[in-house]
Amino acid sequence: MTRPMNITEKILADHAGLNEVTAGQLITSKVDITLANDITGPVAINEFNKIGVEKVFNKDRVVFVPDHFVPNRDIKSAQQVKQVREFAKSQNLTHFFEVGRMGIEHALLPDNGIVTAGDVVIGADSHTCTYGALGAFSTGMGSTDIACAMASGDTWLKVPSAIKVEFNGKLNKYVTAKDLILFLIGDIGVDGALYKTLEISGSTIKELSMDGRFTICNMAIEAGAKNGIIEPDEITRKYLENRSIRIPKFYKSDENAEYEKKIVYNTEDIEPIVALPHLPGNTKPVSQIGNIKIDQAVIGSCTNGRLSDIKAAAEILKGKKVHKDVRLIVFPATQQIYLEAIRAGYIETIIEAGGAVSTPTCGPCLGGHAGILAAGERAISTTNRNFIGRMGHIESEVYLSSPYVAAASAIAGRIVAPEY
């Protein structure tokens, strides 16, 4: 009889061909999907070419999504995408996403059914942990690790120990999944889950949409976690139905599984949260922020660029105007989300309010393009990081929030809660 295991351990044990695994154990695991983008992809391709194999392990399982500096910002970014495009063509890869069909990778892959429940997914991007929302083990790795997995279909890793986090109770008005994960990171710190599993559960999570679950797992890395994960349930099943390319496998933790520790929060105690410069863990309730004026508001990214996020922004902006001193930039996470937001009238509302709507891109989030900050400027953003210089000049400041708070702040010209 095997020892009781949590969901992450069960997924890794199966992919390693073992009956059981324990925290700290080094394993070789089969990989279901490898992922890289236009920044990390060329490095992975260069390393793959050094290995000396002619073909990737599976043309359906190696995925490239140019999304960071696209549409191409400059000549260098154009060359990077060209290299990825040509490699994808030479390998006859099933999943390469060109401009016009692309989106932000961590919204695009689940929405297209490329990743699914029970998978092991590794990506050359730290926010690959997003797919834990489906009940998958997904984590970011370096481009060299991705190159090796592209060739072999295997990777090696240390089994992480786990922290179980429960959110129980009903969400307060204008409190979202983004506020829950910011609250958690603020409580345990940006290294509070270093190389650990953050297993997120509780009655609040059971009521969350897939959009909200993706947001929470997306930011697990901001607490240092190896992966974030949520047990799949009926909401997960409905999302994956008629979407998943491969048959999903639903794992759940044993009742007596071991955890390094358990943390329980009463969701009803949580109000909208803002992370102040220069760490995602530097959080305060929005009611305690004070009078902080902003120059720019950004709504989008792999964290909050989904349809419900665009809807939340439109709800706040309806019939109002963006402050004359503020630039509001909204970028839906995929072309399909963009289309659905147009059909629902959300894009019209945003534009009528004075917001600019961009093609799907990671651009502003990493200070790449389409919204870079100058010295002394402040932005409130629904993105995931606010490190020094993250969105532009090293003397700029980034404040992280939900779409509700970002939209309300764009109207007010300063950081406020909705219904200010």
What is the pLDDT, as a whole number, of residue 356? Answer: 97
| pLDDT, tens only, 344-379 | 999 999 999 999 999 999 888 888 888 999 999 999
Q: Is the pLDDT reported for residue 258 higher than 70?
A: yes
Question: Same structural domain for residues 202 and 324?
Answer: no
What is the pLDDT, as a whole number, of residue 149? Answer: 97
Question: Same structural domain for residues 95 and 200?
Answer: yes
Structural contact between residues 213 and 199, judged by C-beta atoms closer than 8 angstroms: no
Question: Same structural domain for residues 86 and 229?
Answer: yes
Residue 231 CA neighbour count, 13 Å, CB half: 18
DSSP structure string for 162-177: EEEEEEESPPPTT--H
Nearest Cα to Cα of residue 276 among 402, 411, 401: 401
Name residues whose C-beta falls within 8 Å of residue 1's C-beta, 6 or more positions apart in sequence: none
- CATH number of the domain at 391, please: 3.30.499.10
Q: Is the pLDDT reported for residue 147 higher than 90?
A: yes
What is the pLDDT, as a whole number, of residue 420? Answer: 58
Tokens 């992280």 belong to 400
For residues 97-108, average pLDDT? 92
d(CA 201, CA 190): 20
What is the pLDDT, as a whole number, of residue 102? Answer: 86
DSSP H helical segments within 53-160, as ranges?
Answer: 75-90, 105-111, 143-152
Give me the number of domains the chain comprises.
2
Q: Is the pLDDT reported for residue 303 higher than 90?
A: yes
Residue 1, in any domain of the structure? no
d(CA 143, CA 149): 10
Report which residue type is found at 277: P
Instruction: Output the CA angle 231-233-236, nearest 5 degrees.
Output: 95
Domain boundary (264, 283, 310) is at: 264
Question: Same structural domain for residues 202 and 335?
Answer: no
Q: Which two tokens stand for residue 6?
A: 């949590």
Question: Same structural domain for residues 155 and 297?
Answer: no
Question: Same structural domain for residues 180 and 285?
Answer: no
| pLDDT, tens only, 148-166 | 999 999 999 999 999 999 9
Question: Same structural domain for residues 284 and 259?
Answer: no
Q: Which domain holds residue 110?
A: 7-264
For residues 55-73, average pLDDT? 94
Domain boundary (239, 264, 289) is at: 264
Average pLDDT of the residues of the chain:
96
User: Is the preceding peptide bond at 403 cis, omega within 30 degrees of 0?
Assistant: no
